[in-house]
Amino acid sequence: MRRLGVNIDHVATLRNARGENHPDPVYAAKFAKKVGADSITIHLREDRRHINDADAKKICSIKGLLVNLEISTNSDIVKNAMKIKPNFICIVPEKRKEITTEGGLNLIKNKTTIQNIIKRFKKLNIRTSLFVNPSLKDIRISKAISADCIEIHTGKLSNLIKTQKNFSKELKKIRECSYLANDLGIEVHAGHGLDYKTTKVLTRIKEIKEFNIGHFIIGESIFLGLKNVIKKFKIIIK
Ligand code: PXP
């Protein structure tokens, strides 16, 4: 069974636009679970532009809710995450000025730092995932530094599909990385820029076990409601 992780960062973006409490990401997390999300993803960014520490703490303390916390390698953020104790950690690259996470981790440059972070979370029994580009080299490094999972950055594929360009080469890269990771015993996830169509395309790759989707789900909920959008995605990935 493939799982749907719902990223609720942009519920917090909307809340923060008014500086008040509505819409509440904590309520969104509980609601998303109730209507079918298999897990909730939140990204505690260094600039706290959407989810803040209080949100993260409250969301991670909701009983029975599986939370995937995305973090950078920043040492203060890592310390915070260790205190918050989510079920899952996904390490992502982070640049202050980017609108969203633009690509996967640079595993060659940051191998030792990331390896040490993985060790610390493993001691706490927290599943660790690395947000990577679809590169066979990065999959091999992920294995060498004992990542439990990889999440393949699907931004490029999504853009190609959305702009009606040929996406077969990019899909092939994602497929080959998924096969290799699976063979190496690393669980494969996918995320970034996914909508109904791009998710459907990726379901052709059976090795992908989890989809983490945020912006489209929250945006589409304006028209259909969160419950209906989650239901539609659950049907797509079934
Ligand atoms: N997965 C990871 C690791 C992310 O950092 C993000 C957000 O950038 C997503 C998934 C969700 O991307 P989107 O909001 O485009 O669905």
11-36 pLDDT per residue, tens? 999 999 999 999 999 999 999 999 99
Instruction: Specify the CATH number for the domain of residue 150.
Output: 3.20.20.70
- Rounded CA separation 93/152 (Å): 13
Torsion angle (degrees, nearest 10) of CA 58, 151, 73, 128: 70
* Ligand 1 contact via 151 beta carbon (within 6 Å): yes
Mean pLDDT, all residues of the chain: 97
What is the count of structural domains for the chain? 1
Which residue stretches of 37-166 are H helix? 53-60, 75-84, 111-123, 136-144, 155-162
Phi, psi of 150, deg, nearest 5 = -125, 145
Task: Give pLDDT, residue 97.
Answer: 78
Share of the chain above pLDDT 70, in %: 100
Share of the chain above pLDDT 90, in %: 95
Of the candidates 87, 3, 74, 103, the one whose C-alpha atom is nearest the C-alpha of residue 42 is: 87
Question: Measuring from atom 12 of ligand 1, which residue has the nearest CA?
Answer: 192
Catalytic residues: 43, 70, 192
Q: pLDDT tens for residues 51-110? A: 999 999 999 999 999 999 999 999 999 999 999 999 999 999 988 778 887 889 999 999
Q: pLDDT tens for residues 177-228? A: 999 999 999 999 999 999 999 999 999 999 999 999 999 999 999 999 999 9
Nearest-atom index, ligand 1, CA of 129:
3
Mutate to test the pocket of ligand 1, among 100, 132, 216 (most ligand atoms within 8 A of CB): 100
- Listing DSSP states for 31-62 in one string gives HHHHTT-SEEEEE--TT-SSS-HHHHHHHHTS
* Ligand 1 contact via 233 beta carbon (within 6 Å): no
